[in-house]
Structures are given as C-alpha cells and as structure tokens.
Structure 1
Amino acid sequence: MSGDRAMDIVYYGLILLLPLGALAARRIPIGQTLRMALIWIGIFGAAFLVIAQRDRLASLWSREAMPDGIMRIPVAEDGHFYATVRINGVERRMLIDSGATTTALSEATARAAGLDLNESPFGSLIETANGRVTASHVTIAELTIGPIRLRDIGADVSPNFGDQDIIGMNVLKRLRSWRVERGLLVLNATP
C-alpha cells in the first residue's frame, strides 16, 4: 500500500470519527447508535464514490454539444478522444489525432459518404505511424462535429488505413481553438 493510499484511509477514518463521537457523547442506546453509524457510513461511502468517479460523471453531461459552437468530448477508456462526425451526412466515430497532418478515411467511409476516389489523378505517398502508404486525395463537402460545421475539407483515403477514420490537424486548425482540460477535448468554433 502506498503512502498516499494509507493517508487516504486515515483521513476517511478520522472523518467518520466525528459523527461517531457526536453519537457517543449523546449516550444513545447501542442499537440506535449502530444504526445511525451505518447510515453515516453509507452517506460517506456514497459521497466518496461520487468524488472518486467525478471525472466519469462529468463526462455524462459534458458529452453533448453546447449550442454556442463549442463541443466537449470526454477522453475514452483507451486515452484517446473520439467524436461522432457526419461526413456529407454519413455518421462515423472518428479518432481525433493532433499528431495527424490530414484527415484520413477508410475506403468504406469514403464510399458511404459519396466521395470521389478519382478526384486526384495521382495517388500521394504519405507517412503514417505504420510507414509509407499510397493514398487518394478527396474533398469532403461538409463535415460536422456536433454544432461545428466545416466545408471543403481535404482528406486522404487508403485501404491501408483499415477501419479507423481520423480527424487530423487540417480540421483542428480551422477551428477558433481547441484544448484539453480535465479529461475533455474542447473544440471551439465560435466566431
């Protein structure tokens, strides 16, 4: 057990002593004292759970888009940020990756969104985390993330991307700002 964990246990034990001491000073019968003690333990246990899980609970009400052009996205269990994005009206769950230069789409997503895979006559050779791949360049007419609506977004499409669609810096830099605070990615597109 770490020193911080031991101090937490001591701290919560001392917190419980306060109501128990008050009950003992009033000389209430032992049965009633035990019942009240269990109620207090339940109250403190519930408060402890709420405080310990406050980041998860905050994500429940902050997940939805705000009407003022701000989108708050909670961090996923794997430590990444994923957003529900509409590409020309087609909904997809996309990874938001500030390390990616451009937006990358799977062939399935590009086809579902009606993108022209022959828009550019020449494929591009691009560097990815998994090495160099050949990709086709396409233009997304409309991309929306909650209340944020962007037009004419460039993207790369390749079968080597697999099924994971990625929002890259070419989208993030078109926003007014973006930041990470307390486990939330905040996208701001207000004028």
Structure 2
Amino acid sequence: MSAGDLGSTLEGQPLLALTVAAIVLAVAAQMVSAQRPSLGTGMRNVAYLGLLVAGLLTVVQFAGSNRTSDAALWLDHTREARIEGDETVIAMRADGHFWVKAQLNGEPVDFMIDTGATYTTVPQSVAQRTGLAASEDGEGRLLDTANGTVVARMGLARSLRLGTIEASDLPLAVLPDTQNDTAVIGMNLLSQMKSWRVEGERLILTP
C-alpha cells in the first residue's frame, strides 16, 4: 500500500487514524525515553489516552450499529418525545419498542407505546407516586397483559402529557405490582389523536 492509499484509508476511518497515531506516539515515546525521560513519559501518557478514547468510541459506534448488543442496551435509555412542528416523534429503543418519558399528573413516568393494548395502564406503585386514585367501587376489570390475565382497577388521570400530546381526565387501568412493572400507553389515548404512524425507527403522533 502506498503512502497515498494509507492516507486515504485513515482519512475515511478516523477511529483507525486515532489508533495508529496513538501507537506511533507510543513507539516514539519509547525511543526518546532514554535521553529525555520526562518527555517520553508525557508522550506515552498521551498515547495511552488516545488508545483509551479510540476504544470507547469504538464501543459507542458498535452499539449504534448493533441494537441488541450488551453495549447498546447499556447505553440505551428512555427519552422525552421530540417535537417537530405540531407532531410528536418517539424513537425506538434497542429492545424494538417505542418508549417515551411522559408526565403523568405532573410526575415523570416511562411509558411503552403498545398499539395492541386497549387501555393505558400503570402499576400500583406508579399510581401511588403520581397521586392516581384507583376506583374502589364495583368489580375489577380483567385485562390480558404480558404477565397473563390480571384484575385491574380503573382510575382517572388528571393529565398525561408527552410532546405536543396532552390528555385530561384519561381513564387508566391500575395493575398490581409485579417484578417487571411496565407503564403502557394504549389505544384509548392513541385513538384520540388525529393520526399516528411508524416511519422506520420513529413513531410519529399528530394531535
């Protein structure tokens, strides 16, 4: 490979260029350490720092290209909805679901969007934290969930807000707490919107 080809390759791959530069600097540090120890030590520390940065950036890059990797799951987290014009955009997480950080009665709650769910649901612990009172009148309602069929109590949310979407007096189902508690936004909220659609890894809601 000619010097020109090598230069073109490194120019197109900045992480590789950083790694090569750090290695070259480490070799140079070893060469000058005998005559100028302090300079050699400084050069060696910079080289190690460059290798560390290159390694971290490689992990981040790999996580971005492989959504199911351990690194991707570790870096992944629920985000607030992004507003584009009058639309609310929710990004897909590494698990393949759409999650959003919403405000329930003014308190932050992570919700999963589930178009197969009839009702918006929250676990009992979230209902207590957000001041959502489940009705004690009448019989509970049977709901099919990922944890099987459960008896839920119905409650009423004063407000549920995400992006440009805001619902008042929204009926919610309060579920018993389990190990894998998940708050879910269901069709009783989505059906109130003008439209919703999925484009690639984005869920777009129009109020």
Normalized against structure 2, the TM-score is what? 0.63
- Take 1:145 and 1:109, find their aligned partners in 2: how far apart are those partners? 17
- Take 1:126 and 1:138, find their aligned partners in 2: how far apart are those partners? 14
- Take 1:175 and 1:55, find their aligned partners in 2: how far apart are those partners? 33
Do residues 183 (structure 1) and 193 (structure 2) align? no
Superposed displacement of residue 40, structure 1: 1.2
Listed as ranges, the gaps of 5+ residues in structure 2 are 15-57, 68-78
- Take 1:121 and 1:146, find their aligned partners in 2: how far apart are those partners? 35
8 Å contact kept, 2:80–2:162:
no
8 Å contact kept, 1:97–1:166:
yes
Aligned mate of 2:11, from 36, 43, 49: 43
Aligned mate of 2:164, from 147, 163, 170: 147
Structure ranking higher on relative contact order (CA contacts 8 Å, 6+ apart): 1
Do residues 104 (structure 1) and 121 (structure 2) align? yes
8 Å contact kept, 2:134–2:156:
no
Tell me the residue number matched to 1:156: 173
Q: Percent sequence identity over matched residues?
A: 31
The verdict on how the C-alpha distance between 1:76 and 1:38 changes in structure 2, with shifts beyond 3 A counting, is same
The verdict on how the C-alpha distance between 1:93 and 1:64 changes in structure 2, with shifts beyond 3 A counting, is closer
Tell me the residue number matched to 1:132: 149
Structure 1 runs (4+) greater than 4 angstroms displaced: 53-56
Listed as ranges, the gaps of 5+ residues in structure 1 are 1-19, 21-32, 57-61
Across the aligned residues of Structure 1 and Structure 2, the Cα RMSD in angstroms comes to 2.8
Q: Which amino acid aligns with 2:13?
A: G
Tell me the residue number matched to 1:76: 93
Q: How many residues align?
A: 149
Superposed displacement of residue 120, structure 1: 4.0
Superposed displacement of residue 38, structure 1: 2.2
Q: What SS does the aligned partner of 1:174 have? A: coil
